[in-house]
């Protein structure tokens, strides 16, 4: 089976109308997908991948993918599978494109979409959900597909193999038993910053009834209002449920240290992205000032090298990898392996478009063959799930294990036709 074409579509949903996704810095999100379709000479097999953006700039990701096509068009899929590690290095270290990266920003988001589509195609050919394909392949073969460039001072392939092989010893003899896993999640859906107090309270009550026990809310526009909202939510959820806050990078290091003093009274499980996502030493200063609190970050950590420093320096307590910001499985698994080595819990970022569908696979891979930590939790923020053929399913506050072949982000044809930013009926 040969790859014949790679198609990209700029898909945008007008979510800013409902204040969906609003936080301290992103006040008008139109949830968007850079949507990639890898076509083959067999009509039954296409690879679907995406990255998530919030509107303007989605076109730039689409454009970047045009430059990656040459690495797979005309190639046999089994050849792509064998050379996946090499293709990843070629794309992310492209001799000219690297100047507008390297391995960060638009080109890296684009690489995420491109490789997400390749992993989708490969796992579909094996007729397995992506998580299962990864668990089933030989460790050595898997490691050859991943990138350890610039991180072997912290984790070597040999150490990675030891971690995975040791974890694999605990797998059940019948792997199908894992299909009944429910992976615990927390919800962000009640606490968007643009929501009124009444809307937020109604959503918290509704989500409590649905069985959620962990709630995250957005803070960061005004500390007095943050205190007011935290008080409202804490009163509603009681002292046994967990509350987290996310200020989406808006504070300086010093402001964070000061505001944590005022928010501590609400027993916050973690403070997410308090300050600039590149500030490895700043995060550490916050932790040194408040040794009793926990920091979480990762959705905007741009590559595995920055993750390496955050984890090794103990600048974060919870590692929030994003499925579409760093460049797919090839880069995500090495970060999970570093986290495992340092016994750092991983709580993947989700929401947006397709992120929940992606993390349901990453959670299982991490749980079953990578992590040494025993905290299992993942974000869930229901948004636009109605546009997916097979959206992530939640039961009793946890992700139901996906069993369909592939990596789960196929958007319905009708939604593509309506919300394509270039020629969709909605935008026309
Ligand atoms: Mg966040």
104, 108, 214, 218: which is the annotated catalytic residue? 218
Residue 19 Cα to ligand 1 middle (Å): 16
pLDDT along the chain (428 residues), means of 10: 98 89 84 98 98 98 97 98 98 96 97 98 98 98 98 98 98 96 94 90 94 94 95 96 97 98 98 98 98 98 98 98 98 98 98 97 98 97 92 94 98 98 97
- Looking at residue 193, what is its pLDDT? 85
Helix axes 329-341, 355-365, angle to 10 degrees: 50
Both tokens assigned to 408: 């789960």
Please list, in sequence order, all residues whose beta carbon lies within 8 angstroms of the beta carbon of residue 325, skipping any fewer than 6 positions away. 51, 108, 109, 112, 299, 300, 301, 302
pLDDT at 136: 98
pLDDT at 19: 79
Q: Give the Å distance between the CA of 81 and the centre of ligand 1.
A: 33
Which residues are within 5 Å of ligand 1 (an ion), measured at CB? 246, 272
According to the model, what pLDDT value does residue 61 have?
98
Handedness of CA 365, 370, 375, 379 (dihedral sign): negative
Active-site residue flag, 349: yes
The pLDDT of residue 382 is 83
Domain with CATH 3.30.390.10 in the chain: 3-153
Measured distance CA(90)–CA(224) in Å, rounded? 49
Q: Which pLDDT belongs to residue 37? A: 98
CATH number of 3-153: 3.30.390.10
Q: Where is 243: in which H helix or E strand? A: strand 242-246
State how far the alpha carbon of 416 is from the alpha carbons of 21, 37, 402, in Å. Answer: 21, 12, 23
Q: Is the preceding omega at residue 246 within 30 degrees of 0, hence cis?
A: no
Which of 3.20.20.120, 3.30.1370.100, 3.30.70.890, 3.90.550.10 would CATH assign to domain 175-414?
3.20.20.120
319 C-alpha to center of ligand 1: Å? 12
CA–centroid distance, residue 46 to ligand 1 (Å): 32
Instruction: Calculate how far, in angstroms, residue 185's C-alpha sits from the geometric centre of ligand 1.
Output: 14
The answer to pTM > 0.85 is yes
Catalytic-labelled residue, pool 349, 361, 367, 410: 349
Crossing angle for the helix pair 280-289 and 304-312, to the nearest 10 degrees: 20
Residue 386, Cβ density class (10 Å: 0-12 exposed, 13-18 middle, ≥19 buried) = exposed
Say how many CA atoms lie within 13 Å of 119 toward its Cβ: 34
Q: Tell me the CA–centroid distance for residue 23 and ligand 1, in Å.
A: 9
Q: Return the SS3 of 321.
A: coil
Q: Which pLDDT score, from 0 to 100, does residue 226 have?
A: 96
Domain span(s) for CATH 3.20.20.120 in the chain: 175-414
């Amino acid at each position: 089976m040969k790859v014949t074409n790679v198609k990209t579509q700029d898909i945008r949903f007008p979510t800013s109308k409902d204040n969906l996704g609003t936080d301290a810095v992103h006040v008008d999100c139109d949830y968007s997908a850079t949507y990639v379709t890898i076509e083959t000479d067999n009509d039954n097999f296409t690879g679907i991948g995406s990255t998530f953006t919030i509107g303007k700039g989605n076109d730039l990701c689409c454009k970047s993918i045009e430059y990656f096509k040459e690495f797979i068009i005309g190639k046999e899929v089994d050849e792509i599978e064998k050379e996946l590690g090499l293709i990843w290095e070629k794309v992310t270290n492209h001799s000219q494109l690297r100047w507008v990266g390297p391995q960060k920003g638009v080109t890296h988001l684009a690489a995420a979409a491109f490789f997400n589509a390749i992993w989708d195609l490969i796992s579909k050919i094996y007729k397995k959900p992506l998580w299962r394909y990864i668990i089933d392949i030989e460790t050595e073969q898997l490691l050859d597909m991943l990138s350890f460039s610039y991180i072997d001072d912290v984790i070597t392939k040999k150490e990675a193999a030891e971690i995975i092989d040791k974890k694999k010893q605990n797998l059940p003899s019948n792997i199908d038993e894992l299909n009944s896993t429910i992976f615990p999640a927390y919800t962000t859906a009640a606490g968007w910053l643009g929501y009124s107090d009444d809307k937020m309270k109604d959503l918290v009550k509704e989500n409590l009834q649905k069985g959620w026990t962990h709630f995250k809310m957005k803070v960061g526009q005004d500390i007095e209002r943050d205190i007011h909202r935290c008080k409202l939510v804490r009163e509603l959820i009681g002292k046994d449920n967990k509350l987290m806050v996310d200020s989406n990078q808006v504070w300086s290091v010093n402001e964070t240290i000061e505001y944590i003093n005022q928010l501590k009274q609400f027993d916050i499980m973690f403070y997410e992205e308090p300050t600039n996502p590149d500030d490895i030493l700043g995060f550490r200063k916050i932790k040194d000032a408040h040794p009793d609190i926990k920091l979480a970050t990762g959705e905007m950590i741009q590559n595995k090298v920055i993750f390496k420093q955050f984890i090794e320096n103990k600048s974060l307590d919870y590692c929030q990898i994003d499925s579409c910001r760093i460049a797919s499985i090839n880069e995500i698994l090495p970060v999970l392996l570093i986290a495992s080595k340092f016994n750092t819990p991983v709580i993947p970022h989700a929401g947006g478009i397709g992120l929940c569908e992606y993390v349901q696979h990453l959670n299982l891979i991490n749980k079953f063959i990578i992590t040494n930590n025993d905290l299992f939790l993942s974000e869930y923020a229901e948004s636009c799930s109605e546009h997916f053929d097979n959206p992530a399913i939640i039961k009793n506050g946890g992700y139901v294990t996906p069993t369909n072949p592939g990596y789960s982000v196929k958007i319905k044809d009708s939604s593509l036709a309506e919300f394509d930013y270039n020629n969709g009926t909605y935008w026309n």
